[in-house]
Amino acid sequence: MVKILIKNAHICDPATGMDCKGDIFLADGIIADIGSRLEYETEVTIDAAGLIAAPGLVDMHVHLRDPGQTEKEDIISGCKAAAAGGVTSVLAMPNTSPTTDNTETVRYILDKAKDADAHVYVSAAITKGLQSDMLCDLQALKEAGAVALSDDGRPVVDTAFMAQAMQTAPQLGMTVVSHCEDLYLAKGGIIHDGAAAKKLGVKGIPAAAEDCGTAREIALAAAYHVPIHICHVSTATSVALIRDAKRRGVAVTAETAPHYFALTEEAVLTRDADYRMNPPLRTEADRRAIIGGLKDGTLDAIATDHAPHTPRDKANFETAPNGVIGMETSLAAGITFLVKQGHCTLAQLIEKMSAKPAQLLGIPTGSLKKGSPADVILFDENEEWTVDVERLHGKSKNCVFKNKKLIGKVKFTVCGGKIVFNQLD
**Helix/strand/coil (H/E/C) assignment for every residue in 350-417:** HHHHCHHHHHHHCCCCCCCCCCCECCEEEEEEEEEEECCHHHCCCCCCCECCCCCEEEEEEEEEEECC
Query: Quick check: 248 and 222 in contact, CB under 8 A?
Result: yes
Count CB atoms within 10 A of the CB of residue 27: 17
Distance CA 243, CA 85 (A): 30
Which residue out of 151, 152, 300, 305 is catalytically annotated? 305
> Between the CA of residue 376 and those of 34, 71, 340, 414, what are the distances in Å?
12, 30, 23, 5
> Between the CA of residue 3 and those of 25, 201, 230, what are the distances in Å?
7, 59, 39
Question: Across the strands, what pairs with 120?
Answer: 90
Query: Quick check: 218 and 249 in contact, CB under 8 A?
Result: no
Length, in residues, of the chain: 425
305 catalytic per annotation: yes
Query: Quick check: 365 and 373 in contact, CB under 8 A?
Result: yes
> Between the CA of residue 379 and those of 5, 50, 232, what are the distances in Å?
16, 9, 26
Distance CA 243, CA 65 (A): 33
Count CB atoms within 10 A of the CB of residue 2: 12
- Report the catalytic residues: 305
